[in-house]
Amino acid sequence: MKRVVLALLPVALLASFGVFVWNEPIRGTILQIMFPGRLSYIYERVSLARLVYEHVALVAISGSLAAIAGVTLGVFVTRPIGRDFHPIVQDISSVAQTFPPVAVLALAVPAIGFGFAPSIAALFIYSILPVINNTISGLDSIDAGVVEASRGVGMTRRQILFLTELPLAARVIAAGIRTSLVINVGTATIGAVVGAGGLGTVIVSGLVRDNAAYVFTGAITAAFFAFGLDYVIGRVERRFYDARSN
Amino acid sequence: MTSQRNGGSAPEKTTLLGVVLMGVALLRPLYAFKENRVALGEPVTLFETGVPFGVIAVCVLVLLAGILAFAPQTTRVRWAKIAAGLLLFSSLLITLAVSGSAAVAGTEFARVTPSTGFWLGVLASFVLIQGSLHGADVRYSAKIAVGLIPFLVTFVPAIAGMLDSLAPMQEYYNRESRFVSELGTHLWLSAAAVLGATVIGVPLGVVAYRRKAAERPVFALINGIQTVPSLALFGLMIAPLAFLSREFPLLRAVGIRGIGNAPALIALTLYALLPIVRNAYTSLAVIQGSVVEAGKGMGMSRTQMLRYVEVPIAVPIILSGIRVSTVQAIGNTAVAPLIGAGWLGAFVFQGIGQGAPDLVVMGVLPIVLLSVFVDRGLAILISALSPTGLREAPT
């Protein structure tokens, strides 16, 4: 019984999230009960569903580019050809990681401009850092003996990378991508300030117009999105490892 | 892995990267000259600055670095590259300051904005310096000294008024008194959040370690909080606090409202929890391990164990958590202006709102510098406090 409830809980949450986002009358009623006496409950300029799409697009585009580029760069600096760059890449990425996300986002405005595309660039720059860090530390932590053994059985360099090193580092790399995506969802929310669109738009609008219902709408949706993404990646990871360890 | 370089016949690639970056920087404008605050800038490259000393210095240094990349990488060559990097940064800044002052002389509102050429040059210097520091057999104190030089080179002329022609400096002068108070509040609030998180987080970590039943819910909760976007968490604080403030006059009297410092401080504290709880938990796990067995084996008393084993091991681990939390808190505090709390981030959002990129830079720089300095400072402190046997070079 408990297991059934636990298994159905995510489904139920997802369903209520869907209703909240797509069904405006129901959302309006909920908000009216929570925040009585407001002039408006439904953000009228853009639909919430549209903002969710924008947010997904921001995170999906910048996040997947960052994952690809980050892993590639991490692999490059651990190969003989790029080994010279190993320390400098690690340095730059660890210094850059202490930069606040708002700073990266805000600096993108003078550098590349206002709107969706510059925000993608800023999100990309920020979310590539955990991927690089984890790829490097994942690959570095592999026992040299394992690589040696792979060479011993006659594997080529490419085979060693794809069949030995990357699978062994996969767990650490995946953790980096997960961190990167969760940070990305949060940073994308602030992106509304620089015209990126997304769920931050309705929060910022609510703050400016002193409308708590708007703020709540955006905040709860963004929080659910981040939560859901983290949960799904966690599940995928676990399934992947369970399947492999059997 | 040992490098297969033999006798320095292969060039040092990091240095080459620095030289290439500087080469690109030379083609880009060093700064933009603006008639007034909102005017579009006219780009000026290094060669157009009219500062022959700067042009010659930069070209010579780039050439020198290029040659040194092909020399055998002895300690002396590495120090020469570090010096070249530091001088390159200084030359760029001096050229910018001298040419900028000349350009705005006699005008009332004109200013110069550092451009891509300058920022790329800064990156090139960083690559040259940092890349050479790594291979060199350098003491940690020397590394810190080298790291501080660029800041001295920037701050001293800035205080002396030599950088006054730069647009971010002008934005700063327009808001000087507010800037100081905002900086104070920013520091105070970040510190208060981290302090609060430490007071709550360390006991929470202990509880999570001691009671297995508490472990999962505690971590699920604080992990969950970290997952929520900062702006959303700030937003979610507003409604309940506004409600409490409305219902309980006492709370209203002490200044707790839906917007402002109260919700921001609560959200920042919640955010700061995860690293602190996690590290408190880890420190206990480490203490309970074999080190303690060894101490017992040596016949240490309970107080001796605490004094010589447990505290020295736990403090650096807990401090590492506080370090992560502090850097995060400084960054998150920058978002707080959106919920009506002031602080440094306010300049950033004002700058974005007014379409004044220089104001954005002026607001962002102190936040970034604060994060970097606090991060480095705590790293040094942690390394100094670690037991010698467990000490690692600060990262």
Same domain (yes/no): A93, A175? yes
Question: Nearest CA of chain A to the CA of B334: how many Å?
Answer: 7
- Digit-coded pLDDT (tens) for B77-101: 889 999 999 999 999 999 988 888 8
As given in the structure block, the two tokens for residue B236 are 């979610």
pLDDT at B4: 44
Question: Which pLDDT value is given to residue B341?
Answer: 63
Contact between chains at B232 and A85 (C-beta distance less than 8 A): no
- Point out the residue among B226, B259, B364 whose CB comes nearest to the CB of A106: B364
3-class secondary-structure state, position B112: strand
Interface test with B, best of A31, A35, A84, A224 (most B CBs within 10 A): A84
Question: Among candidates B57, B86, B69, B71, which has minimal Cα distance to B20?
Answer: B69
Q: Is this prediction's ipTM beyond 0.85?
A: no
Same domain for A149 and A225, yes or no, is yes
Are B363 and B347 spatial neighbours (Cβ–Cβ below 8 Å)?
Answer: yes
Are A223 and A188 within one domain?
yes
Closest chain B residue by Cα to residue A218 = B232
Q: What is the pLDDT of residue B59?
A: 93
CB–CB contacts below 8 A, A to B: 153
Query: Do residue A2 and residue A119 come from a single domain?
Result: no
Read off the pTM.
Answer: 0.83
**Is A52 in contact with A21 (CB distance < 8 Å)?**
yes
pLDDT(B2) > 60: no
Does pLDDT of B299 surpass 50? yes
CATH classification at residue A228: 1.10.3720.10
pLDDT of residue A130: 92
Q: What is the mean pLDDT of residues B290-299?
A: 79
Asked whether the predicted pLDDT for residue A131 surpasses 70, the reply is: yes
- Residues A125 and A228 occupy one common structural domain: yes
Closest chain A residue to B4, measured at CA: A80
pLDDT > 90 fraction of chain B, expressed in percent and rounded: 22
Question: How buried is residue B312: exposed, middle or buried, by Cβ count under 10 Å (0-12/13-18/19+)?
Answer: middle
Check residue B3 and give its pLDDT: 44
Average pLDDT of B134-141?
Answer: 73
Chain B residues inside the 8 Å CB shell of A187? 229
Q: Tell me which of B13, B132, B190, B228 to substitute to probe the interface with A (most A C-beta atoms closer than 10 Å).
A: B228
Residues A203, A89 within the same domain: yes
A107 near B CB under 8 A: yes
Q: What is the mean pLDDT of residues A197-213?
A: 85
Q: Is A30 on the interface with B (CB under 8 A)?
A: no
> What's the pLDDT band for A137 if we cut at 50, 70, 90?
very high
Judge: B229–A222 Cβ closer than 8 Å, yes or no: yes
Per mean pLDDT, which range of A171-180, B190-199, B247-256 is the poorest?
Answer: B247-256
Q: What distance in Å separates the CA atoms of residue B380 and residue A25, rounded to the nearest whole number?
A: 57
Residues A206, A84 share a domain:
yes
Q: What's the CA dihedral at B245, B246, B248, B252 to 10 degrees?
A: 40
The yes-or-no verdict on residue B354 having pLDDT over 70 is yes
Q: In this complex, do B331 and A101 lie within 8 Å of one another by their Cβ atoms?
A: yes
**Do A25 and A103 reside in the same domain of the chain?**
no
Question: Is A39 a domain residue?
Answer: no
Q: Which domain holds residue A13?
A: 1-33
Q: Does B162 touch chain A (CB under 8 A)?
A: no
Of the candidates A94, A48, A132, A228, the one whose C-alpha atom is nearest the C-alpha of residue B229 is: A228
Q: Say whether pLDDT at B136 is over 70.
A: no
The H-assigned helical ranges of chain B are 13-27, 52-70, 75-104, 116-135, 140-159, 167-174, 176-210, 212-227, 230-247, 249-253, 261-287, 290-297, 302-304, 311-333, 345-354, 357-385
Three-state DSSP at B242 gives: helix
Cβ atoms of residues B81 and B134 within 8 Å: no
Q: What is the pLDDT of residue B303?
A: 84
Strands across the sheet containing B29-34: B42-45, B29-34, B111-114
pLDDT above 90: residue B20? yes
Model pLDDT for residues A92-125, shown as the tens digit of each residue: 888 888 888 888 888 887 677 778 888 898 899 8
Establish if A22 belongs to a structural domain: yes
Q: Which site among A56, A89, A102 would you substitute to test the B interface, given the most B Cβ atoms closer than 10 Å to its Cβ?
A: A102
Provide the b/e sequence for A95-109 (b: ≥16 CB within 10 Å).
Answer: bbbbbbbbbbbbbbb
Question: Is the CATH code 3.40.50.150 the one for domain B176-390?
Answer: no
- Chain A residue numbers touching B367 (CB-CB < 8 A): 100, 102-103
| Residue A86 and residue A14 share a domain | no
Q: Please enumerate in sequence order all residues whose Cβ is within 8 A of that of B78, keeping only pairs 6 or more positions apart, or say none.
A: B132, B133, B135, B136
Cβ of B228 within 8 Å of Cβ of A223? The answer is yes
DSSP string, B42-60: EEEEGGGSS-HHHHHHHHH
Q: Is residue A20 part of a domain?
A: yes
DSSP state at residue B166: B
Arithmetic mean of pLDDT, B200-211: 91
Sign of CA dihedral B274, B277, B283, B289: negative
Q: For residue B242, list chain A residues with Cβ-Cβ distance below 8 A.
A: 212
Does residue A106 belong to the interface with chain B, where contact is any CB pair within 8 Å?
A: yes
Q: Searching chain A, which residue's CA lies closest to the CA of residue B10?
A: A84
Angle between helices B261-287 and B290-297 (to 10 degrees): 50
Query: Are A25 and A77 in a shared domain?
Result: no
Higher pLDDT, B203 or B249: B203
Same domain, A130 and A241: yes
Cα A112 → chain centroid: 22
Domains contained in chain A, number: 2
- Put simply, whether B29 touches A (Cβ < 8 Å) is no
- State whether A118 and A236 are in the same domain: yes
Average pLDDT, rounded, for chain B: 84
- For residues B253 and B33, the model is more confident at B33
Lowest mean pLDDT among B214-223, B233-242, B245-254, B324-333: B245-254
CA distances in angstroms from A245 to A163, A164, A238, A240, A241, listed in the order given: 16, 16, 10, 9, 6
For residue B63, pLDDT over 50 is answered with yes
Residue spans per domain, chain B: 13-167, 176-390
- What sign does the dihedral B297-B303-B307-B313 (CA atoms) show? positive
Task: Supply the pLDDT for residue B7.
Answer: 46
- The per-residue pLDDT for B394 is 59
